[in-house]
Amino acid sequence: MRHAGLQNVEACGAPVVQRLARAIQISLVGSILLLGGASAQQEPSVAPPEASVIEENGSAKPVAAWTVMCGRYPAECGVDLSQPVTIALNPAVWRTLTSVNRRVNARIKPITDIAHWGIVDRWDFPDDGFGDCEDFQLLKRRMLIERGIPRRALRMTVVIDDIGEGHAVLMVRTNRGDLILDNKTNAILSGPRTGYTFVKREGQHGMAWVALNGGASPVTTANR
């Protein structure tokens, strides 16, 4: 399926066998790095990175599971036009972003929607401690809103990840560019540094989604 036609983020990654193989490989590599005195886990940036704006490129069809979620949680999908489209990235905001990103990544255990809900794709809050990529990001957004960051600047975003699969991240739109919160890393990165292809995100003027310019990577096919 071409990334431009993605309608869901299904398992947010590879099939189980591939996941296990990668997990074993990562474990072995991590052991080697630890023996060499290096950390296998990427540490979060200590200061905001240089970021760029991920440009819009017309309209896009919303993710089907997002639309279903909107029926359960209408407030998650509405746009308050009185809120700013970007936020000022100051030290306090940066500390909040990094703290919430790390806290949710550590707190939630990853699981596919099939294993969790018995359906291919469901967007929901991981209130039971389990979830897949979009569930991580929905919780991060809820926590950031509770800490005073406007929802309009926090956009759910669909990408093709570094292994060519559908994935969801949270885009934080700031006056210093667009930053990405991800459950795959505690580091908050600019779009190009993620290595992802940016497909589409929630719009900021209503419930319609917008297509993105692709960001960091060439057009690719998602093997899910």
State which CATH number among 3.10.620, 3.40.50, 1.20.120, 2.60.40 fits the domain covering 3-215. 3.10.620
pLDDT in tens, 86-116: 999 999 999 999 999 999 999 999 999 999 9
> Residue 152 carries which side chain, given as an amino acid letter?
R
The predicted model scores a pTM of 0.80
For residue 1, what pLDDT is reported? 33
pLDDT in tens, 123-153: 999 999 999 999 999 999 999 999 999 999 9
pLDDT in tens, 21-75: 444 343 433 443 334 443 334 444 566 777 899 999 999 999 999 999 999 999 9
> Residue 195 carries which side chain, given as an amino acid letter?
G
The structural domains of the chain, with segments of one domain joined by +, span 3-215
The band of 6, judged by pLDDT with boundaries at 50, 70 and 90, is low
User: Which residues make Cβ contacts (< 8 Å) with residue 200, sequence separation at least 6?
Assistant: 6, 60, 157, 158, 209, 210, 211, 212
